[in-house]
Amino acid sequence: MPDLLLELLSEEIPARMQARAADDLKKLVTDRLVDAGLVYEGARAFATPRRLALWVQGLPVMQPAVREERRGPRVGAPEKAIEGFLKSAGLTSIEQAKIERDAKKGAFYVAVIERPGRATIDLLAEILPDVIRTFPWPKSMRWANGSLNWVRPLHSIVATFGPETEEPDIVPFAVDGIAAGDITRGHRFLAPEPFAVRRLDDYVAKLERAKVVLDAARRQEIILADAKNLAFAQGYELVEDAGLAAEVAGLVEWPVVLMGAFDESFLSIPPEVIRTTIRNNQKCFVLRKPDGSLAPRFILVANTEPADGGRAIVAGNERVIRARLADAKFFYETDLKTPLERRLPKLKEIIFHEKLGTQAERVERIERLARELAPAVGADPDKAARAARLAKADLVTEMVGEFPELQGLMGKYYALAQGEEESVASALEEHYKPLGPSDRVPTDPVAVAVALADKIDTLVGFWAIDEKPTGSKDPYALRRAALGVIRIVLENALRLNLQPILWRHFASVRRDEALAEAVAALEPLQRDIEALSASDIELAIKLEVLISRSGTAHVMRGSLVQAHSDLGEAGSLLAFFADRLKVQLREQGARHDLVDAVFALEGQDDLLLIVRRIEALARFLDSEDGKNLLAGYKRATNIIRIEEKKDGRTYAGAPRAELYDQAEERELAAAIAEAKREAEAAVAREDFEQAMQAIARLRPFVDAFFDKVTVNVDMPARRENRLKLLNEIREATRAVADFSKIEG
């Protein structure tokens, strides 16, 4: 079957756009082919700095014919309806339509539309120019007097179509005066002469001879292999950088690896600064010595085979790198002259968010929260507060101003230089972590306290101003912040009750001391006030009554109302954490129904305990006892659900012992009471498997009850009592999870 080869040769395409452009070209063309009824065997797209290419394998020669029956109006319909039907079906007379009869709807017209298939090459001649003209470049340009928008001036188009055993045809089209053909060019300097190509294997081979490696992945492999070999030959090791390798592969069509050097005096500045300077400014790799320290060498990748062996290219790069490292050294030495503490006033000039204040105000909040969290994570409160106070100071240094990606890291170096304790200095770098799912989490208690405080402040702040993520939009990376909190808590096995922490921090974000006083007064009564809902005045009065009963001093009504509202916001934010945790657990293979079963319980804000409960539930349900427990639960609750739906009411509440008239009722009631007592005690010890074992022992009593006792008796009081008894089984299982969410 024929193949399509398409190449679009232009001036240099920015490296950051190439991979996306190749994917877009493949999708746009293949989607149009499928829409036209043209199935294919495979497709591959390629990108180099000067060209996009696409190969579509196994296309048919002809588009398949189409036969379609289009139903029209009823026989005898108004003339306008008939005219519209004829026009849409492409008929000139109603006699060209056939009549079909339906037993219910009567007779109606049906048009039989038959369209013969077209030659694939003719369809390609329509599809390809349209794709080229509408290509979605992030940025594009026009040149000369043309009308085409392309990323850079387009020079030529290759478009061939034909089977492997024959000379392919040229797809006949032109875009902006550039006609498709079979002529392309190789490397701009090493092989600029034009040459003809036929299909993919011929195209790839001829490009290689013309000093162009078409496949970006292969260029990247060549770069890394040659760089490692050159480094090894000189007694060094390449500091690998996958992102840089991919970027450099997008800058060259014929990679040639060379080595340069810089003065050893620059090694006095932090190695990350050297690496960032060389990477960002010259797209070069750095090397390390056998002992792991940075070497005064770098690897560059040229796009040519220089006649002098690369001496001129290396010398040019060395001059630029020397100048850039001199700047970096100046920034570093200048920054060291000013202690971080003295930089803090400048944070008052940096707006974090117009509704959340300056960076200085944010630092104050993080400092208070880090001190509060420190005992719970095993950190020294003074050290945590000190680290939090200095955490953002490096934002106003010269080095971070030049290289923002070094924030935190430079804070650590400056803190160590000014004599801060190592745990404090390390926290300045690690409080930003984790930056992504593959990044490690902080483990030092001081860093953990500051990292949690930083992320919680961000989340509470944007929740307070109602800037929550919506759909796929998350401009403030709040999902990442929540996942960071989750990973820090779980991987450090921390026990934190998040809801009161979040609730208290809302007052800090709102900068309201009266609100903070209200939260402090209401916090011991949290469970009592969560269910309150009324107008502002009624709510404030109810809250005042609760506070007066607790013996707490009077707090202003407005603050009480806001505190109640913030409790709801804290609950909303906790639900956001739950959603992120659900996603993470499901990605790790946890059953979604077990996750839902645990999260359905009220008051779940200890993330570590939630995960342990889910893990225990999964283990238990895989056992014979677990299967028995689930079967007994479902047998009881199925009856309750049916009767509750039929009666339009619930059967909650304790059954009355005096209404038991059969031994099986009394035995089941006693077994439930014992199981609940044991389960609640086991849950209090956080022994969830033992709690489930206790409930699982109900199964023989449940079976005996159903064998001997009729639930739906004619006596309403006795029927209600027996349904309430079965409901006690449902309530007993809630000590561990909401079993109604569990499948199976």
- 3-61+119-209 fold: Alpha-Beta Plaits (3.30.70)
- Residue 199: what are its φ and ψ, rounded to 5°? -145, -175
Q: What rounded mean pLDDT belongs to the chain?
A: 91
Q: Report how far residue 76's alpha carbon sits from residue 82's, in angstroms, rounded to the nearest whole number.
A: 9
Instruction: Write down the residue that tokens 């929260």 correspond to.
Output: 369
**382, two tokens:** 């003074």
Residue 699: predicted pLDDT: 86
Give the residue from 118, 128, 116 showing the smallest Cα distance to 171.
Answer: 128
Residue 547: predicted pLDDT: 63
Higher pLDDT, 591 or 119: 119
Residue-wise pLDDT tens digits, 81-112? 888 888 887 788 888 888 888 777 788 888 88
Decide: 65 and 115 in contact? Cβ < 8 Å. yes
The pTM is what? Answer: 0.81
Residue 592: predicted pLDDT: 81
- Indicate the DSSP class of residue 215: -
Give the residue from 652, 707, 650, 698 showing the smallest Cα distance to 676.
Answer: 698
Hey, what CATH class is 607-741 in?
mainly alpha
How many residues would you count in the chain? 744
pLDDT at 528 over 80: no
Mean pLDDT over 318-343 rounds to 96
Residue-wise pLDDT tens digits, 31-83? 999 999 899 999 999 999 999 999 999 999 998 877 777 888 888 888 888 88
Name beta bridge partners: 154.
10
pLDDT at 193 over 80: yes
The mean-pLDDT minimum among 280-289, 392-401, 530-539 falls in 530-539
Residue 541: predicted pLDDT: 66
Strand locations in 514-589 (E): none
Please, where in the chain does CATH 1.10.730 lie? Answer: 607-741
Please, where in the chain does CATH 3.30.70 lie? Answer: 3-61+119-209
Residue-wise pLDDT tens digits, 588-602? 888 888 888 887 787
